[in-house]
Amino acid sequence: MSLLEEKTLSTEKIFSGKVIQLQVDEVLLPNGKKAKRELIKHPGAVAIIAITDENRMVMVEQFRKALEKTIIEIPAGKLEKGEEPSACAKRELEEETGYDCESIELLNSFYTSPGFADEIVHVYVAKGLKKKENAAGLDEDEFVNLIELTLNEAQQAIEEKQICDAKTVFAVQYLLLQEVLKN
Amino acid sequence: MSLLEEKTLSTEKIFSGKVIQLQVDEVLLPNGKKAKRELIKHPGAVAIIAITDENRMVMVEQFRKALEKTIIEIPAGKLEKGEEPSACAKRELEEETGYDCESIELLNSFYTSPGFADEIVHVYVAKGLKKKENAAGLDEDEFVNLIELTLNEAQQAIEEKQICDAKTVFAVQYLLLQEVLKN
């Protein structure tokens, strides 16, 4: 056991919703004292860096109630129960953008807010995009606009804070690095 | 008003803790239907990309109860009420690492989990690090180990998933890009 580890003394379940669960754990600290930890359980998510044959990033414009504003993000979505992340990535790409892809590869997985949440995002790179006929649609409470940006336009959108979430800023930086390494 | 916007019909406050608050909003969707949104309110945070004169990244090893494991992250912490982000960044750097810095500059700010939380992380770059005598210590429920990694070691730690959170993966990728651009 790590010297930093915190042992759970008790768990109080506060809320169980459609997306998240909240619990407060009482823990034993490394120094023998007690503390409370407010913890969000989340099913995990995928995000997709999807590049068209014209070298544009496929993005969606979406209203985010938590932020009370509309922002531009790479396509993303929550894992369904028992769903394999790469299958989820293909499904979300189709539902949000209408694109099917020839290849989809895991680039990285990261926790978004380790201080209070267990949410992990699996980031995929999708290539060989083709518009799919009769593509599956969005969830009934989901509304997005599809937009396609060059890397320069995406960098501009970061400057202007239309792109302002961790996974999308990471995605743009990743493609910028690939671009620089190519030259 | 954007065509994607969701109007709040009612707000149910579920939990108000030391770190987060949880509420469930009923919203009016763009198509006139209703839906529920589970929303976490968070005070916001800072994170610091701190580089020593020996060109090492200053990191902390920390047990994260939400993940039930110890991971390696760049120094970070929550904004106190009314605290200016750059002051918070200097404070957290000192408390978690014992370093003072000559310069600290905002690199970027991003939302970590826009699907359910309003948490924003302001990422700073700190240079001219000096060990501070009588540096302020950690919060009473906070325990971290200080470690300093070369960029190669940090990339290795990503491969081995010891580094596995959004802000730190972003930080390593940022420094890698700076390194490539220099050459």
Write the DSSP assignment of chain B as a string of letters: --TT--EEEEEEEEEE-SS-EEEEEEEE-TTS-EEEEEEEE---EEEEEEB-TTS-EEEEEEEETTTTEEEEE--EEEPPTT--HHHHHHHHHHHHH-EEEEEEEEEEEEES-TTTB--EEEEEEEEEEEEPTT-----TT--EEEEEE-HHHHHHHHHTTSS-BHHHHHHHHHHHHHHHHH-
Residue of A nearest to B145 (CA): A4
Residues of B within 8 A of A165 (CB-CB) are 110-112, 114
B26 and B85, same domain (yes or no): no
Residues of B within 8 A of A37 (CB-CB) are 65-66
A69, A71, A73, A164: which is closest to B5 by C-alpha? Answer: A69
Q: Tell me the pLDDT of chain A averaged across its residues.
A: 95
Give the confidence band of A83 by pLDDT, cuts at 50, 70, 90. very high
Note which residues in 81-140 of chain B have CB less than 8 A from chain A.
108-119, 121, 140
d(CA A2, CA B62): 10
> Does the beta-carbon distance from B115 to A66 stay under 8 Å?
yes
- Residue A2 domain-assigned (yes or no): no
Give residue-wise pLDDT tens across range B113-132: 999 999 999 999 999 999 98
A80 and A110, same domain (yes or no): yes
- Residue B112 domain-assigned (yes or no): yes
- Residue B137 domain-assigned (yes or no): yes
Residues of A within 8 A of B143 (CB-CB) are 3-4, 29-31
- Residue A1 domain-assigned (yes or no): no
Give the confidence band of B139 by pLDDT, cuts at 50, 70, 90. confident
A77 and A148, same domain (yes or no): yes
- Residue B2 domain-assigned (yes or no): no
A88 and A175, same domain (yes or no): yes
Q: Tell me the pLDDT of chain B averaged across its residues.
A: 95
A84 and A13, same domain (yes or no): no
B36 and B52, same domain (yes or no): no
Give residue-wise pLDDT tens across range A128-158: 999 988 888 888 888 999 999 999 999 999 9
Query: Regarding beta strands A99-111 and A34-41, do their DSSP bridges make them parallel or antiparallel, or are they unpaired?
Result: unpaired
Which of the pair, B70 or B133, is modelled with greater confidence? B70
A32 and A115, same domain (yes or no): no
A74 and A21, same domain (yes or no): no
Which residues span the domain enclosing A126?
49-182
Give residue-wise pLDDT tens across range B47-85: 999 999 999 999 999 999 999 999 999 999 999 999 999
ipTM topping 0.90: yes
Give residue-wise pLDDT tens across range B16-56: 999 999 999 999 999 999 999 999 999 999 999 999 999 99
**Contacts of residue A102, Cβ cutoff 8 Å, sequence gap at least 6:** A127, A128, A129, A130
Note which residues in 6-45 of chain A have CB less than 8 A from chain B.
6, 8, 14-15, 17-20, 22, 24-25, 27, 29-31, 33, 35-40, 42, 45
B66 and B120, same domain (yes or no): yes
- Residue B1 domain-assigned (yes or no): no
- Residue B76 domain-assigned (yes or no): yes
pLDDT at A135: 82
Q: What is the mean pLDDT of residues A119-133?
A: 96
CATH number of domain containing B60: 3.90.79.10
A163 and A100, same domain (yes or no): yes
- In chain B, the number of structural domains is 2
A183 reaches B (C-beta below 8 A): no
- Residue B69 domain-assigned (yes or no): yes
Residue B2 clears pLDDT 80, i.e. is over it: no
pLDDT at A2: 62
Q: What is the mean pLDDT of residues A5-24?
A: 98
> Does the beta-carbon distance from B4 to A36 stay under 8 Å?
no
